[in-house]
């Protein structure tokens, strides 16, 4: 007779198959968006690996956020109970279990019999989860395996204040721009995540023996940081720690079937030796690690352009602006104050290299030599690390100045929606800033949210806006303000039968409502202009306009270059002033 435990988590389906002989199979299945279909297929693969037939299954228990999608009529199990049962079977001496998965962390107090005494869950924000660390790794251009290992080579402890996953990305970008070693940044991220998980676990009490389970237990950097945060010398980590919830569910299935009696000493031994089999929805994948299948739908295409009708040799003043942002970098070149060439490229893990790449791309199709550019101003997160800049100016001032050039002197309100922050700006007729506000505490309403959605749905980010406008009736906005939790909500909506375009519309509306709330705090004066990458998302822009009751002014220029354009205009004015002072 066979009992099956399923853990349908945020990222993967884990299955454990048990019989009177003990452990028969461990299977991890990476699903597509149809979770019920994927769960059925995962069960079929698990039974094949166990050498069993479907009719031999006498009980199925399912845990995890997607447990209702498990096939058959499973016993539905809470995650804390599954954690408790699975951990107690392998470590009966443990009374405190910490489970850190893709989008959630839990601290659980348990009895030696696997009963739950108390538990705490991180909520409202995903900081401290596996997704938090994966996002930080991506900012450093590392996969999660490299990220965990490199943190062990850190030479110093760098404090990190941000709690929000996306704001922490901004802080990581700032550390990168400050030339902080990657190893020190990685340790800072792991320390921040571990501190949050440790604080959560202390709410339920920490015993001497502590077990760590969940996918994040594979990360040596996090393990090291969590030991420091808990002030303990060792953590008990089982083989295949991400399968413990599935093991607990399988044990509960055994209890309900009453036909399978287990030898727990034998089970503990088998757990260390039986391998896990890994599958995707479209076939077996060999050597899959925690950093599997990174999708690149979130990247805006890199662009560059030049007005070759202008002759730079006839220009008196050649100036440039470089905007090294958290997500993308732009360069703009002016001839006597007129736009000549521009580019928009992805920001890498080196600010100087990103600045140089942006300028090289801008003048790529021209014969303008770099040394003919007389004055360069840097702006954005990495402005202090533009090696060839004579001056740096804040991105708020530069966006206002650039918007004034792009949309005209009547502009008074500017919304700058960037990759990891959002700003509402008031300016005068010359583009001088008179007031501004920034989003705080949470990154909902920034471009990062759209990147997460693009990856989730496997839709190029530039197609999200148009697709969101194809709905016949506007749906309500997603309710989650956290970028990572909004992703979970989007998955839930897809599972409930919402078509993709309806989910996109719901997310675009939520973003529009979030940023208009920021605008309303500062007050919207006509004329109104939108800059930044999200200004290219027509689905968000149209909804902002509808909520405000006014239309944003349009420009034929790419909205992402506003900051670099403003910096180039400042460079032109500063060069003129410098020359006047010499004459």
Q: Say which CATH number the domain at 466 has.
A: 3.30.420.40
Number of domains, the chain: 4
* CB 344, CB 300: distance < 8 Å: yes
Q: Are residues 271 and 311 in the same domain?
A: no
Domain that holds residue 467: 437-552
271 falls in which pLDDT band (50, 70, 90)?
very high
Q: What is the pLDDT of residue 446?
A: 64
User: What CA–CA distance (Å, rounded) separates 123 from 132?
Assistant: 13
Instruction: Tell me: do 220 and 130 sit in the same domain.
Output: yes
- Comparing 17-26, 82-91, 135-144, 557-566, the range with the smallest average pLDDT is 135-144
Burial tier of 281 (Cβ tally within 10 Å: 0-12, 13-18, 19+): middle
Q: Which residue has the tokens 């021209």?
A: 366
Same domain for 531 and 500: yes
Asked whether the beta carbons of 570 and 419 are under 8 A apart, the reply is no
186 within a domain of the structure (yes/no): yes
Tell me: pLDDT of 26 over 80. yes
**Residue 193: CB atoms within 10 Å:** 29
Q: Check whether residue 484 and residue 546 sit in a common domain.
A: yes
In a domain, 404, yes or no: yes
Q: What is the pTM for the complete model shown?
A: 0.69
d(CA 254, CA 61): 9
The answer to whether residue 288 sits within a structural domain is: no
My answer on whether 121 and 212 are in the same domain is yes
Residues 181 and 315 placed together within one structural domain of the fold: no
Task: For residue 344, give the nearest of 352, 106, 360, 283 by alpha carbon.
Answer: 360
Residues 97 and 228 in one domain: yes
* Contact partners, residue 21, CB within 8 Å, separation at least 6: none
Bridge partner residues of 422 (DSSP):
417
Check whether residue 277 and residue 403 sit in a common domain: no
pLDDT of residue 481: 55
Q: How confident is the model at residue 168 (pLDDT cuts 50, 70, 90)?
A: low
Has residue 226 got a pLDDT over 50? yes
Q: Are 372 and 537 in contact (CB under 8 A)?
A: no
Residue 442, both tokens: 């949470």
Residue 478's pLDDT is 82
At which residue do the structure tokens 């002016």 appear?
334
CA–CA separation, 382 vs 501, rounded Å? 36
Give me the numbers of helices (H) and strands (E) for the chain, helices first please: 17, 21
Residues 214 and 188 in one domain: yes
The answer to whether residue 294 sits within a structural domain is: no
CA distances from 571 to 322, 450, 577 (A): 10, 33, 10
Does a structural domain hold residue 70? Answer: yes
Considering the domain boundaries, does residue 420 fall inside one? no
For residue 406, is pLDDT > 80? yes
- Quote the CA–CA distance of 290 and 100 in Å, as a whole number: 14
In a domain, 423, yes or no: no
Residue with tokens 């008074």: 412
Structure tokens belonging to residue 498? 């919402």
Tokens of 186: 């990685």
What mean pLDDT, rounded, does the chain reach? 87
Which of 223, 251, 282 is at the close of a domain? 282
Q: What is the pLDDT of residues 28-60, one digit of tens each?
A: 998 877 888 899 999 999 999 999 999 999 899
Distant-in-sequence, close-in-space partners of 243: CB < 8 Å, separation ≥ 6? 7, 14, 16, 26, 28, 86, 276
Please enumerate in sequence order all residues whose Cβ is within 8 A of that of 387, keeping only pairs 6 or more positions apart, or say none.
Answer: 352, 355, 356
User: Is residue 229 domain-shared with residue 249, that is, in the same domain?
Assistant: no
**422: in domain:** no
DSSP classification of residue 93: T
Q: Which two tokens stand for residue 453?
A: 């959605």
Strands in 276-337 per DSSP E: 276-280, 283-284, 303-306, 318-324, 328-335
Question: What pLDDT does 444 receive?
Answer: 54
Query: Does residue 99 sit in the same domain as residue 212?
Result: yes
């Amino acid at each position: 007779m066979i009992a099956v435990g399923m853990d349908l988590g945020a990222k993967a389906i884990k299955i454990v198959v048990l019989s009177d002989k003990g452990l028969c199979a461990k299977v991890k299945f990476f699903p597509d968006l149809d979770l019920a279909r994927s769960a059925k297929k995962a069960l079929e693969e698990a039974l094949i690996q166990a050498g069993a037939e479907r009719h031999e299954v006498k009980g199925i228990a399912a845990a995890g956020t997607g447990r209702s999608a498990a096939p058959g009529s499973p016993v539905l199990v809470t995650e804390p109970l599954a954690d408790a049962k699975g951990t107690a079977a392998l470590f009966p001496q443990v009374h405190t279990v910490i489970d850190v998965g893709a989008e959630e962390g839990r601290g659980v107090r348990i009895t030696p019999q696997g009963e739950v005494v108390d538990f705490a869950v991180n909520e409202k924000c995903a900081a401290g989860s596996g997704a938090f660390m994966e996002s930080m790794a991506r900012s450093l251009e590392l996969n999660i395996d490299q990220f965990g290992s490199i943190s062990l080579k850190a030479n110093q402890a760098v404090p990190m204040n941000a709690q929000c996953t996306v704001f922490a990305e901004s802080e990581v970008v700032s550390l990168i721009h400050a030339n902080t070693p990657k190893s020190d940044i990685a340790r800072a991220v792991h320390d921040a995540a571990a501190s949050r998980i440790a604080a959560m676990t202390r709410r339920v009490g920490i015993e001497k023996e502590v077990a760590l389970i969940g996918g994040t237990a594979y990360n040596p950097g996090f393990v090291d940081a969590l030991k420091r945060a808990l002030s303990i010398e060792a953590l008990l980590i089982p083989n295949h720690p991400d399968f413990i919830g599935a093991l607990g569910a399988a044990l509960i299935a055994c209890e309900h079937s009453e036909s399978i009696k287990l030898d727990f000493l034998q089970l503990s031994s088998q757990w260390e030796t039986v391998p896990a089999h890994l599958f995707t929805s479209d076939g077996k994948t060999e050597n899959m690690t925690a950093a599997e299948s990174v999708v690149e739908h979130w990247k805006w295409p890199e662009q560059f352009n030049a007005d070759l009708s202008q002759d730079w040799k006839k220009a008196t003043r050649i100036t440039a602006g470089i905007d090294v942002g958290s997500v993308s970098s732009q360069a703009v070149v002016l001839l006597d104050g007129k736009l000549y060439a521009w580019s928009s490229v992805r920001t890498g893990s080196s600010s100087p290299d990103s600045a140089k790449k942006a300028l090289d791309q801008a003048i790529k199709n021209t014969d303008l030599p770099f040394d003919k550019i007389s004055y360069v101003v840097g702006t954005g997160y990495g402005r202090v690390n533009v090696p060839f800049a004579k001056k740096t100016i804040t991105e708020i001032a530069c966006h206002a100045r650039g918007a004034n050039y792009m949309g005209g002197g009547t502009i008074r309100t500017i919304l700058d929606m960037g990759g990891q922050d959002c700003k509402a700006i008031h300016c005068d007729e010359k583009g001088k800033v008179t007031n501004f506000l920034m989003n705080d505490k949470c990154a909902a309403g920034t471009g990062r949210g759209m990147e997460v959605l693009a990856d989730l749905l496997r839709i190029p980010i530039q197609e999200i806006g148009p697709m969101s406008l194809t709905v016949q009736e506007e749906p309500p906005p997603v309710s989650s303000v956290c970028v990572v939790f909004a992703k979970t909500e989007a998955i839930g909506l897809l599972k409930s039968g919402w078509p993709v375009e309806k989910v996109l519309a719901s997310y675009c509306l939520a973003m529009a409502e979030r940023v208009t709330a920021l605008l309303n705090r500062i007050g919207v004066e006509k004329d109104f202009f939108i800059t930044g990458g999200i200004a290219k998302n027509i689905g968000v822009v149209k909804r902002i306009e509808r909520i405000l009751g006014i239309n944003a002014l349009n420009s034929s220029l790419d909205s992402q270059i506003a900051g670099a354009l403003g910096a180039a205009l400042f460079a032109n004015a500063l060069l003129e002033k410098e020359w006047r002072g010499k004459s």
